[in-house]
Amino acid sequence: MISYELGVEDLADTRFAISPLAETVFSLRVLRDPGLHALHLPWRRTVLARLEAADAERLTALVGERLALPDFLTPRPETFAPAFEEELALVRRTPPGLVRRDVPAALVSRPALDGDDDAARFRDAACELLRRYWALAVEPFWPRMRQVLEADMTYRARRLARGGARLLFADMHPNLRWHDGVLRISKMIGHHHVAASGRGLLLMPSVFAHKPAPPVSPDEPPSLVYPSRAVATLWTPAQVTDAGALSALLGAPRARLLRLLEEPLPTIELARRLRVTPSAVSQHLRVLYGSGLVAKARDGRQVLYGRTELGDRLVTVKPGA
């Protein structure tokens, strides 16, 4: 079991982030173990058909014997939604000593890294491999993945606002338990207790995580990758909607707005595309948000809106199908 002791200041500094690099790295578990997450089998078949056999073997070799991953491959995001290239640049700067610490801790089967030169070569080769893999396996699907992740964060933020940390963690995963200021994560390969001590807690939803995943090393700042909601919608083929029926139900302006939200967008961009004022868009968004058809999440100074699972179903499923 791994546990985090969180004080008042740590709870006040609890935040969310989206990490394209973490999603890329966590997807390696699905490549290695097809039975881990059956919902991802369509994605896995597509990716394996594109990957060279040698690259597939090297990628799955980065996953430990008990499906752990070296911590240095998933650095703590410095912003809400960093670009993949920004995160990979952080990994390339990882000191060799941390590489030598993290690889055996994750039980990755490989020859020992005897010195800094070995560790640096391993790090650089892993970065180049992940860069190619991201472009082939994750980047083409990233807009859709990000929408699912942001919808999950909006849901979690509502639960935190309504019931505090207890409600936030209550339905996140059966392996998580919050009690008396301590977050306990069971069924881990590590066994340690970490006092956050003012460092806060970083929460990252993941479409590829099958269970909560804190860092393997107790030296890392408190963070937790957890399974996102609505993953089942990712690989379901979309059907053509009846545009007239949707407009009749919502009204033409709101139907057009809902269709635009294939990816998260701010109000000003929606107004530009629809050629209306931002205030008009805001009025329609309030109705769609109140109806549970769109979700919102803050990104710096702007608020991004995206369709929820319910909104997706309304837009993509043909009535009577």
Task: Find the range with the poorest average confidence among 149-163, 166-180, 280-294.
Answer: 149-163
pLDDT at 299: 65
| Residue 192, both tokens | 């340690």
Give the mean pLDDT of 22-48.
91
pLDDT at 320: 46
pLDDT at 83: 95
Give the mean pLDDT of 170-194.
91
pLDDT at 27: 96
Q: Where are the beta strands (DSSP E) in 89-242?
A: 176-179, 182-185, 192-195, 202-206, 223-227
pLDDT band at 240 (very low <50, low <70, confident <90, very high): very low
Q: Is the pLDDT of residue 233 over 50?
A: yes
Give the mean pLDDT of 189-199.
89
pLDDT at 150: 87
pLDDT at 154: 85
More confident residue, 200 or 318: 200
For residue range 250-305, what is the model confidence (pLDDT) as tens digits? 888 898 898 888 778 889 989 888 889 999 999 999 999 998 898 887 766 778 88
pLDDT at 279: 92
Q: φ, ψ for residue 15 (rounded to 5)?
A: -140, 165
More confident residue, 112 or 113: 113
Residue ranges and CATH numbers for the domains of the chain are: 2-15+145-232 (no CATH), 19-142 (no CATH), 237-316 (1.10.10.10)
Percentage of the residues of the chain whose pLDDT score is greater than 90: 52
pLDDT band at 59 (very low <50, low <70, confident <90, very high): very high
Q: Which of 186, 309, 307 is nearest to 254 (CA)?
A: 307
pLDDT at 199: 92
Give the mean pLDDT of 136-165.
88
Mean pLDDT (the chain) is: 88
Paired sense of beta strands 302-307 and 265-266, if any: antiparallel
Give the mean pLDDT of 165-172.
90
d(CA 251, CA 268): 21
Helix locations, 134-239, DSSP H: 142-170
Q: Where are the beta strands (DSSP E) in 157-301?
A: 176-179, 182-185, 192-195, 202-206, 223-227, 265-266, 294-299
Percentage of the residues of the chain whose pLDDT score is greater than 70: 94
